[in-house]
Amino acid sequence: MPVLAQEEVPNSCTIRRDPRLGTGTCLGVGGVCQYDQEYGGVSGALCCLFSTVYFATDWAFTIFMVVAVIMVLMGAFTILTAGEKIDQVNKGRDYLMFAAIGLAVALLAKAIPAIVRFMMAA
């Protein structure tokens, strides 16, 4: 019967994005933050959590913005080249509507760190 080796749970993380936690200061970008230490009155675990949340939401924001710009360009091109074809104009409008929804989701991604910070304070 094979035995599964247990890896040790990591006790630190690398700060990938400045978490901006009020008056407390975490280590700078690239610093290794220990979970069980405090940095300027802020727990190392919170520094790691918020660094990860900011990093992930920044990527989500970037991806949604790029997709939204592509959808706007596709919608505009479809409408401009539609001529008198009503179905093509409707298709172009749909692209623009999807782009607006993508922009709303991108802005929501930027609001997630504030929501998480509020929930952690409660």
Question: pLDDT tens digit string along 7-38?
Answer: 665 677 777 777 766 655 676 777 777 777 77
Domain ranges, ordered by start, for the chain: 12-121
- Position 95 scores a pLDDT of 93
Say how many C-beta atoms besides its own lie within 10 A of residue 35's C-beta. 16
Judge residue 21's burial from the number of C-beta atoms within 10 Å of its C-beta, 0-12 exposed, 13-18 middle, 19 or more buried.
Answer: buried
- Position 89 scores a pLDDT of 92
How far is it, in rounded angstroms, from Cα 111 to Cα 37? 28
- Please identify every stretch of the chain with a pLDDT value under 70, giving residue numbers as ranges: 1-10, 20-25, 27, 39-42, 120-122
Is pTM, for the whole model, over 0.85?
A: no
How far is it, in rounded angstroms, from Cα 113 to Cα 29? 17
